[in-house]
Amino acid sequence: MKKAVLFDLFYTLADPRTELVTLESDPLGISPEEWSGVFWTPALGRRRALGEFANGAELIEEACKGLPFQASAAQKAGVLKGRLTRMARALTDLRPGILETIAALRARGLKLALVSNADIIDIEAWDESPLVSLFDTVIFSCSVRLVKPEPEIYRLALERLGASPEEAVFVGDGGDHELDGAKAVGLTTVWTEYLQKKDAETRALIRPFADYHIDDIRQLPEILENL
């Protein structure tokens, strides 16, 4: 019998809408792809996730150093405002079925943890999210200085929930090799593509580490009921 569920956050429960008309790259006059090439480098991504920046302005300042031009103060402020707005919307405007599914699991008596690789900007609006009251513990990488897929971050969640790996399930979209890490610790894994469909190459990399796969988060209670 499973007694605990660990959830990833972004692209699992919260959708950082990339289809929005205004994105944080707009003030720079570059495409989202060009901005991603700067903001999502492995080195900066790890520093962001580990909470090495005191505030969002400092993080954006560091990211803009990777641009092929000198961004103005107004442009940097615009980038920060745009990203804060987008991530706040991700946390507060949830897709159908998300809240109902988590509430249903909680009503069954399952212990729930959120385990997210997130930076200081990502979680600025967390307290405004309707997800806040649904979890027994919340672990943001930038707060605990641990990142997925390192085993320590999963073990921290399990410790807080009072569950062993064999008693718990990890649910995520597969980013950051999170399913690999969860499997290595001994967790049962559920791969969700509810908020983001992966391309064929990415799917091939994730599939070996997924015990179960769902296209809709509302399928999760049935899977857990049969474990």
- What does the pLDDT look like over 60-118, one tens digit per residue? 999 999 999 999 999 999 999 999 999 999 999 999 999 999 999 999 999 999 999 99
How far is it, in rounded angstroms, from Cα 60 to Cα 71?
10
Over residues 180-200, mean pLDDT: 97
Residue of 214, 193, 153, 177 lying closest to 45 (CA atoms): 177
- The pLDDT, as a whole number, for residue 127 is 97
Over residues 109-128, mean pLDDT: 98
First-to-last C-alpha distance (Å) of the chain:
6
How far is it, in rounded angstroms, from Cα 199 to Cα 222?
26
What pLDDT band is residue 38 in, cutting at 50, 70 and 90? very high
Instruction: Tell me: pLDDT of 21 over 80.
Output: no
How far is it, in rounded angstroms, from Cα 50 to Cα 61?
17
Let me know: does 123 contact 56? Beta carbons within 8 Å: no
How far is it, in rounded angstroms, from Cα 138 to Cα 123?
11
Residues 198/199/202/203 CA torsion (nearest 10 deg): 70
- The pLDDT, as a whole number, for residue 23 is 85
Q: Is 124 helix (H, G, I), strand (E, B) or coil?
A: coil
- The pLDDT, as a whole number, for residue 22 is 74
Instruction: Tell me: pLDDT of 224 over 70.
Output: yes
Let me know: does 125 contact 92? Beta carbons within 8 Å: yes
The domains located in the chain, with CATH, are 4-14+95-225 (3.40.50.1000), 26-91 (no CATH)
Mean pLDDT, the chain, as a whole number?
96
- What does the pLDDT look like over 139-189, one tens digit per residue? 999 999 999 999 999 999 999 999 999 999 999 999 999 999 999 999 999
Percent composition of the chain: helix, strand, coil (DSSP 3-state, to 5): 50, 15, 40
Q: Which residues are CB-contacts of 226 (< 8 A; sequence separation ≥ 6)?
A: none
The DSSP call for residue 119 is -
How far is it, in rounded angstroms, from Cα 184 to Cα 1?
20
How far is it, in rounded angstroms, from Cα 199 to Cα 218?
22
